[in-house]
Amino acid sequence: MPTPTAVVLPGTGSDEVFVRSVFAGPLGALGIPLLAPPPAPGGAVVEGGLTVLDDLAREVGTPLLVGGISLGAHLATEWALRHPDRCAGVLAALPGWHGEPGDAPAAVAARASADLVEREGLDGALAAATAGVAPWLAAELTRAWRRHGDGLADGLRAAAAHPAPAPASLRTLDVPVGIAACVDDPVHPLAVARVWEGALPRVRLAETTLAAFGADRESLGHAAVDAWLRAGRRSPDDTDGTGERDPAGRVAPR
């Protein structure tokens, strides 16, 4: 199988700069090129993410390894369900919910952030959102939210209203999926990742921590990529006795 091109989408209120900090190193170590498109502005963030995957699949011309963080993971998986024949697998980092968002913590947080932006303005919202949080997270929020600008609140609301793939749909996705979750993340609960894991037919779940993520953004990317590799390994019979092959076509030792 030829080496795929990866297209990874950002989470709600985030951006492609953060995606690259998480995934460029882990994918580059495998020789997999990364495309990290910026989020579509405002309320177009959902349809824009799906559209850019369509556009890049046509442009690249080979199966894509699609992925994302939080909302990006939902959209990448939704796209893979629509186009399994054009998909080499999914990197699902920090899925926030399955099915309707309802009162999922990530959806509640996005709606609350939208309310805050509309009530306090961007500067006031950033002051409140970054108070007492880890410096790295404060820096990420400040950069990304300012880049979203006037469309931030609409984007947050659109993301919080969009259903993620439901377990019944996930059961039909026959491509390798690597899920990464932080065991101590209250916004993207491990329990959600485990529901995804229980539904998907070809999947591995890798767990990390917020402390590790804060110290090294690539820890989350490594977790997702390693899980995808493990999910996609074929039997030794497919490799003429040389070992298992990962989804990128490389032989892994037994």
Domain boundaries, the chain: 5-100+164-252, 105-158
Number of neighbours of residue 142 by Cβ within 10 angstroms: 15
246 pLDDT more than 90: no
β-pairing, 203-208 vs 244-245, is: unpaired
249 pLDDT more than 80: no
Pair 232, 203: CB distance under 8 Å: no
Between 26 and 253, the more confident residue is: 26
Number of neighbours of residue 143 by Cβ within 10 angstroms: 13
Predicted local confidence at residue 233, as pLDDT:
87
221 pLDDT more than 90: yes
Number of neighbours of residue 108 by Cβ within 10 angstroms: 14
Average pLDDT over residues 42-64: 96
Please, which pLDDT band fits residue 1 given cuts at 50, 70 and 90?
low
Cα 51 to Cα 72: distance, rounded to the nearest angstrom: 13
Cα 75 to Cα 89: distance, rounded to the nearest angstrom: 13
Please, which pLDDT band fits residue 234 given cuts at 50, 70 and 90?
low
Average pLDDT over residues 187-203: 98
Between 99 and 246, the more confident residue is: 99
Pair 94, 213: CB distance under 8 Å: no
Cα 40 to Cα 9: distance, rounded to the nearest angstrom: 10
Please, which pLDDT band fits residue 239 given cuts at 50, 70 and 90?
very low
User: Rounded to two decimals, what is the model's pTM?
Assistant: 0.91
Predicted local confidence at residue 62, as pLDDT:
81
CA atoms in the 13 A half-sphere facing the CB of 52: 23
CATH says 5-100+164-252 is which class? alpha beta
How confident is the prediction for the chain on average, in pLDDT? 92
186 pLDDT more than 70: yes
241 pLDDT more than 50: no
